Amino acid sequence: MDFSEKEALRYLGFRGKPADADTLALLHGVSAAASACIQPKSIYKEVSLRRVTAEETEIGGIVFHSRKLQAHLKDSDRILVFAATLGANADMLVRRYTAENTAKAAVAQAVLAAMTESYCDEICDRIAAEEGKNGWFLRPRFSPGYADLALSAQRDLFSLLEIPKRIGVTLTDTCLMLPTKSVTAFIGLCKTPSCKTENCANCPDTECAYRKEGIQYEIS
């Protein structure tokens, strides 16, 4: 699977500085092993969208409490619920590396996180291309646990998509996903173009909900 090597290195802490040769060699070896074993799956569907209050949004008949989510969807007239995973083999690879070499395990975590992001972007690009034929634009993904949307919102999002049955991802008692390299999200659709910048540090919109510098990513 294609993924951003730069993004993987960023997860490893190489921000604005080159990685050493040993790290790069380890990254390339781990990425080859990861690409050979992962089993990506995704699912999404459109559900109803209704704004209830400034902090409450009814999605698929379920009310979600989040002012940031409401603001994020302010220009959206439609919404998709989305889930994706790299599969259980990704977790097995990390466990194997953890037993062998902690540095290799850390690189595996970074590579698989970057692969998860890349896979989600790939699926969303496909959706955007299809929706774009009818003049619709996708908003960036917004996940439970981000900003003021409680992680417990995972339970309701899971029920909307039947995620365990459809792609084999389950929730722990604390609402963490297994396999861990999995993503759930709400995706708004609007009639005006959405953010297209790939470098948040250079973007003038410092209030953007999806500014990547200094925030927690949606990938577990």
Which pLDDT does position 218 carry in this prediction?
A: 42
pLDDT band at 1 (very low <50, low <70, confident <90, very high): confident
Which pLDDT does position 209 carry in this prediction?
A: 53
pLDDT band at 168 (very low <50, low <70, confident <90, very high): very high
Token pair in block for residue 144: 């439970």
Which pLDDT does position 110 carry in this prediction?
A: 96
Phi, psi values for residue 219, rounded to 5°? -85, 125
Q: Of the CATH numbers 3.30.420.40, 3.40.109.40, 3.90.1150.10, 3.30.500.10, which one belongs to the domain with range 5-202?
A: 3.40.109.40
**Predicted confidence (pLDDT) at residue 202 exceeds the cutoff of 90:** no
Question: Measuring CA to CA, how many Å separate 197 from each of 86, 210, 211?
Answer: 25, 11, 10
